[in-house]
Amino acid sequence: MHNQHFSGKIVAITGGARGLGRGLAEALSRAGANVVVGDIDLGAAEALCAGLSAEGRTASAVHVDVTDPASVERLVTEAVTRHGRLDCMINNAGIAAIGEFEHVPAETMRRVIDIDLLGAAYGTLSAYRQMLRQGGGHIVNVASMLALFPNPMSAAYVAAKHGLRGLTRSVMAEGATHGIHFTTVCPGYIATNLFEAGSFAGSIKKHQVLERIPFRLIDVDTAVARTLSAIATRKPIAVFPFYARVLWWIERLSPRLLDAALRLMMKQQRRRFDSVATR
Per residue in 186-244, pLDDT tens?
999 998 766 666 665 555 555 566 666 678 899 999 999 999 999 999 999 999 999 99
**What is the percent of the chain where pLDDT is above 70?**
89
Q: Would you state the pLDDT for residue 124?
A: 98
- Residue 241: cis peptide before it, omega within 30 degrees of 0: yes
Residue 113 pLDDT exceeds 70: yes
Q: Would you state the pLDDT for residue 99?
A: 86
Q: Identify the sign of the CA torsion 190, 236, 262, 153.
A: positive
Residues annotated as part of the active site = 157
Q: d(Cα 63, Cα 40) in Å, to the nearest integer?
A: 5
Whether residue 27 contacts residue 220, with contact meaning beta carbons closer than 8 Å, is answered with: no
Mean pLDDT, range 255-264, rounded to an integer: 94
Which band of pLDDT confidence, cut at 50, 70 and 90, is reported for residue 276?
Answer: very low
Residue 160 pLDDT exceeds 60: yes
Whether residue 49 contacts residue 37, with contact meaning beta carbons closer than 8 Å, is answered with: yes
Q: Would you state the pLDDT for residue 209?
A: 61
Name residue 240's amino acid: F
Residue 152 pLDDT exceeds 70: yes
pTM over 0.95: no
Q: Which residues contact 75 (CB under 8 A, 6 or more apart)?
A: 12, 14, 36, 38, 62, 64, 123, 126
Residue 51 pLDDT exceeds 60: yes
Mean pLDDT, range 57-81, rounded to an integer: 98
Mean pLDDT, range 154-164, rounded to an integer: 97
Q: Which residues contact 231 (CB under 8 A, 6 or more apart)?
A: 5, 88, 138, 140, 183
Residue 57 pLDDT exceeds 60: yes
Q: Would you state the pLDDT for residue 2?
A: 66
What architecture is domain 3-250? 3-Layer(aba) Sandwich (3.40)
Top pLDDT among 208 and 84 is at: 84
Question: By mean pLDDT, which of 87-96, 224-233, 256-265 is the weakest?
Answer: 256-265
Q: Would you state the pLDDT for residue 265?
A: 83
Residue 33 pLDDT exceeds 90: yes
**Average pLDDT of every residue of the chain:** 92
Residue 279 pLDDT exceeds 50: no
Q: Would you state the pLDDT for residue 267?
A: 85
Q: d(Cα 35, Cα 11) in Å, to the nearest integer?
A: 5
- Burial of 222 by CB count in 10 Å (0-12 exposed, 13-18 middle, 19+ buried)? middle
In Å, how far are 196, 199, 249 from 245, measured between CA atoms? Answer: 26, 27, 6
Which band of pLDDT confidence, cut at 50, 70 and 90, is reported for residue 274?
Answer: low
Question: By mean pLDDT, which of 97-101, 136-140, 242-246 is the weakest?
Answer: 97-101
Strands 180-187 and 237-240: parallel
